Structure 1
Amino acid sequence: MTITKRNYLLQTTLLTVLVGGIGGWAYYSVNPHHYFGGYPLIPLFFYIFGIFMISMTENCRHHIPGRMLQIYLLMRVMRMLASIIVMLIYCVIVREESKGFLLTFIANYLIYLIYDSWFFFTFEANRKMKKKKENETIA
C-alpha cells in the first residue's frame, strides 16, 4: 500500500466517522423529525466509493500514468451517476422521507466532493514539486 493510498484511507475514514457519527448526532439533535434511519448509510456509500476511487487512481498511476486525469474525471462522473441512481431509487421506494434524504445526500456529496478535490489537488501539487526538485538536482 502506498503512502498516498494510506493517507487517503485514513483521512476518509476520519471524515466518514465525523460526518456519520457526529453529523448524524447533530442532525438528530437539531432536526429529529426529519432524521431518517438510513442516514449512516450515506457516508458509508461515499466511503466505499472513495476506496474504489483511490484504488483505481493508484492502479492507473502505476500502469498508465499518462491517463491519470482521464481516470480521475471518469471516477467523478461515475460517482455522480451512482449518486443520482441511489437518490432516484430511494425516492421511488421511500416517498415520505425523500426531501430530507435528498438534502442530506446532496450535503454529504458536496462534503466528500470538496474533500476529494482538496486531497487530489494537494497530491498533484506535491508530485509536481517533487518532480521539479528532481529535475533541478539532475541539472
Structure 2
Amino acid sequence: MTKMTRFFLIFHTGMLLVTGFGMGFILKWFFPEIQLKSYPLIPIFFYLLGLVFIYVFSHNSPNQPEKIVNTYMLMRMIKIFVSAVILFIYWIMDKAHIRNFAIIFVIFYVINLIWETYIYLRMEMYIKYKGDQKKPPRERID
C-alpha cells in the first residue's frame, strides 16, 4: 500500500467518523424531530463508496492523466446514480420519513463531494510532483 493511499484511507475514515458522530450529535440535541432510526446507514454508505473511490484511484496509472480525469468523472456519475437509487428505495420503504432522510443524505453528499474533490486535487498534485522529479533538470543556455 502506498503512502498516498494510506493517507487517503486514514483521512477518509477520520472525516466520516467526525462527520457521522458530529451530525448524529447535532441531530440528537438540536433537531430531535428529524432524527432517524436508519441514520447510521448514511455514513456507512458514504464510507463504503469512499473506499471504492480510493481503491479505483490507487490502481490508476499516474502516467495517464486523461484516464484519471475520466475515472473521476465516472466515479461521480456512479455515486450520483447509486445515491438516487438509495433515496428511491428508502422512499418506497418509508414514505413518512423520506424528507428527513433526503435532507440528511444531501448534507452528507455535499460534505463527501467536498472532501473527495480535495483528495482528487491532492492526487493530481502528487502525480505532477512525481512527474516533475523524473524530468531532467533544465540547463541554462547562455
Q: How many residues align?
A: 139
Distance in 1, matches of 2:24 and 2:30, equals 10
Task: Provide the residue aligned with 1:102 in structure 2.
Answer: 102
SS at match of 2:36: coil
Flag structure 2 segments of 5+ consecutive residues without an equivalent: none
Distance in 2, matches of 1:62 and 1:39, equals 37
The residue correspondences of 1:1-139 to structure 2 (distance < 5 A) are 1-61=1-61, 67-137=67-137
Cα RMSD of the aligned pairs, angstroms, is 1.9
Alignment-mate amino acid for residue 5 of structure 2: K
Alignment-mate amino acid for residue 74 of structure 2: L
SS at match of 1:96: helix
Question: For 1:76-132, what per-residue CA distance to the aligned partner results, in whole angstroms no more than 9, with x for missing partners?
Answer: 110110000001110111011110100100000000000000111122023213322
Q: Which moved more, 1:27-36 or 1:127-136?
A: 127-136
TM-score (norm 1): 0.90
Distance in 1, matches of 2:33 and 2:8, equals 35
Which structure is larger by alpha-carbon Rg, 1 or 2? 2
Alpha-carbon distance change, 6 to 18 in structure 1, aligned in 2, over 3 angstroms = same
Runs of 4+ residues deviating >4 angstroms: 62-66
SS at match of 2:135: helix
Flag structure 1 segments of 5+ consecutive residues without an equivalent: none
